[in-house]
Amino acid sequence: MELKEIEKISEYKWLIPKKEDMRVPGVLYISEKLLNKALSDNAPLQVMNVSKLRGIVKYSLAMPDVHWGYGAPIGGVGGFDAESGVIVPGFVGYDINCGVRLIRTNLKFTDIKASLEHLINLLFTNIPSGVGSEGPLSLKRKDLEKVIVDGALWSVKNGFGIKEDIECIEDYGTKKGANPDVISNRAYERGASQLGTLGSGNHFLEIQKVIDVYDKEIADAFGIFEGQITVMVHSGSRGFGYQVCEDYLDKFGKVAAEYGIKLPDRQLACAPADSKEGKQYLSAMNAAANYAFANRQIITHWIRETFSQVLKIPWEKLEMDTVYDVAHNICNLERHNVDGRERWLYIHRKGATRAFPKGHPALPERYKNTGQPVIIPGTMGTCSYILVGTEKAMEETWGSTCHGAGRMMSRHQAIKESKNRDITDELAQKGVIAKGVSRKGLAEEMPDAYKDIDEVIKVVEGAGLSKKIARMAPVAVIKG
């Protein structure tokens, strides 16, 4: 696709006009600087393909961190009518409920500086990471079935955290409607020993320092202050979620034609939301999402234990509280205003974050007057952000915003570009201690492989989709 095919609406909003078999137009929330990269990897073409799917409402959306993905773009958002629309596994992705959790503390950098290397080394030991990594928990089928029904609540009930964590998780850490009977034996096998593990790729655990506070009143409500140490965790549903996606992509690929669905791309295999297959996928996806919530909850518990072990202070006294936990790859049934009328929609977010405004009924009481905390990670060598949801996001993007920096390079290209470089040493020179399972893994995730996070945040704030609250710089990081 060429730039001339896209119309500029405003500084941070671009239109792909409806044409041929597009059911709705495409809208890109992006700057001119970021648009060139999006065009070069053909992400707008995937935005167009999504717009051709049955039951899509108003527009096919892309966030500023958009890049090419499986079928649908990473950074894509779409709402489908709950009665006439479709469910699209490829528009959720393989890592169902890949997401981010932010943990606050009452510590400042000077409190951990002398212990930082010991701290990150012990976290690396206590929280398994890497491809196929397995944790100390090995669950029997009947226990895993409880995990995928209860989500983070299962973790808390079994001693991994406290009840206060639950209200600081999207959907309170438990998605309703998960059904153990629609999960394959292979998914259960893969998920049995991976709870409490980071995984590989762009998943990470990062110790950070708050370097800027932009809105003190909301930051206070989030428990955030300048100079503070925070911990960010990025992980998902591991092999369990991957297998769920694989199973249903195969199933949907076989039934789409039976429902008279013409696919613009076979990777967008889908089924009607009210069909047997559509309902089964949603139950299986909710199960995988609950696995991910439980996973991040267990990791949180082990982070707290590790801080306590190294600093010899109970984690409760360190005030290691969950700020919020958000999903990036998910499909939710949500009620939205469409042209003045309330409608139920299946909102697909793939590499995008829910960003609900203050007063939204889905928010816990503590955030009713602020809006939802939005947690946006950067890269190993760049800052991360805390944003807050806005009313404009509800009006324009189904209450959605970006999810991170977004890749600039493929993993293969990143490895090639980092040849003869020591990424660990480069990060150390920036004041960041980096631990990785392999040099290859660190090379794939080097900061240069990602877009400018500051530019991405400038777009979503400039477009009114979310508002900056604070910025954190990395001081130590574990990469899968």
Supply the angle between the helices 141-150 and 276-311 in degrees, to the nearest 10.
90
For 11-16, the CB contacts below 8 A with 24+ separation are 11/462, 12/64, 12/459, 12/462, 12/463, 13/463, 16/44, 16/47, 16/48, 16/51, 16/60
Whether the CB-CB separation of 204 and 234 falls below 8 Å is answered with yes
- 429 CB-near residues (< 8 Å, 6+ apart): none
Burial 109-142 (b: 16+ CB within 10 A, else e): beebeeebeebbbbbbebbbbbeebbbebebeee
Locate all alpha helices (DSSP H) within 256-372, ordered by sequence.
276-311
DSSP SS3 for 15: strand
Q: Where are the beta strands (DSSP E) in 242-383?
A: 271-272, 322-327, 329-338, 341-350, 353-354, 373-376
Q: Is the dihedral of CA 246, 251, 254, 258 positive or negative?
A: negative
Task: Compute CA 478 distance to the chain's CA centroid, rounded to the nearest angstrom.
Answer: 18
Q: Which of 203, 234, 301, 403 is catalytic?
A: 403
Dig out the tokens for 160 from the structure: 């991994």
Backbone conformation region of residue 176, classed left if phi is above 0, alpha if psi is from -120 to 50, else beta: beta
Specify whether 203 is catalytic.
Answer: no
Coil/strand/helix, residue 55:
coil
User: Any alpha helices (H) in 320-400, and if so which ranges?
Assistant: 391-396
Residue where the block lists tokens 């966030």: 63
Calpha distance 325→361 (Å, rounded): 17
Assess contact for 471 and 228: CB atoms under 8 A: no
How crowded is residue 260: how many other Cβ atoms within 10 Å of its Cβ?
8
The residue length of the chain stands at 480
Residues noted as catalytic? 403
